[in-house]
Amino acid sequence: MSEPRIVDATEQHIDGIAAIYTHAVENSIATFDLVPPPPWHWHQLLQGARENPGHYVLVALDPEDDVLGYAYSARYMERRGYDTTVVTSVYVAENAQGKGIGTALYRELFRRLDESELRLAVAGIAEPNPASTALHRAFGFERVGTFNGVGVKFGKPIDVTWYQRPLAGAR
């Protein structure tokens, strides 16, 4: 597979993003959502990216402009003192996994984040997820700690390990 085209997500990409996330909701522990969010959720995510410096929603597109995956950076917590920290996440369509899509998305996301005035990126990974752990470590994330059994999905408790990565604005 050739390198995907990475662009800012727009409303035309919402159906593709939602389909990828719905699959994750229904088939994996990558998210603790138990039902897919409504369409307004995705519009709100895009609006937040337009209004907040350092917040991005990126999509990876194939030559036919189908969404292969998406990555985003968003508000970590509502309290204003956390405004220099973002939470990051990446999701890849099942048929595109293992083909470098997540790497391409994170490469562009962290290029942009490192050019911003933000100080820190954080990410939580539901365990086990060796592919996500490897991706985050490859982009300089360091393990902070694990919340044991913090979430329940498919009838079993799931641990979440948190990682952090200083951004260029902190250096």
Query: pLDDT digits over 33-70, tens only?
Result: 999 999 999 999 999 999 998 999 999 999 999 999 99
Q: Is 138 helix (H, G, I), strand (E, B) or coil?
A: helix
What's the whole-number average pLDDT of the chain?
95
Helix (H) or strand (E) holding 67: strand 67-75
As a whole number of angstroms, the distance between CA 118 and CA 162 comes to 19
Residue type, 116: S
Q: Which CATH architecture has domain 5-170?
A: 3-Layer(aba) Sandwich (3.40)
CB atoms within 10 A of CB 65: 12
* Mean of pLDDT values over 16-38: 97
**What average pLDDT does range 85-106 have in this prediction?**
97
pLDDT at 2 over 80: no
Nearest to 87 by CA among 74, 96, 98, 100: 74
User: What average pLDDT does range 83-89 have in this prediction?
Assistant: 96
122-147: average pLDDT: 97
Residue 153: the pLDDT is 97
pLDDT exceeds 90 at position 169: no
At 1, the pLDDT band (50, 70, 90 cuts) reads low
Structural tokens at position 56? 């991005």
pLDDT > 70 in the chain, percent: 99
Please state whether the predicted TM-score (pTM) of the whole model is above 0.85.
yes
pLDDT in the model for residue 3: 84
Domain boundaries, given as residue ranges, for the chain? 5-170
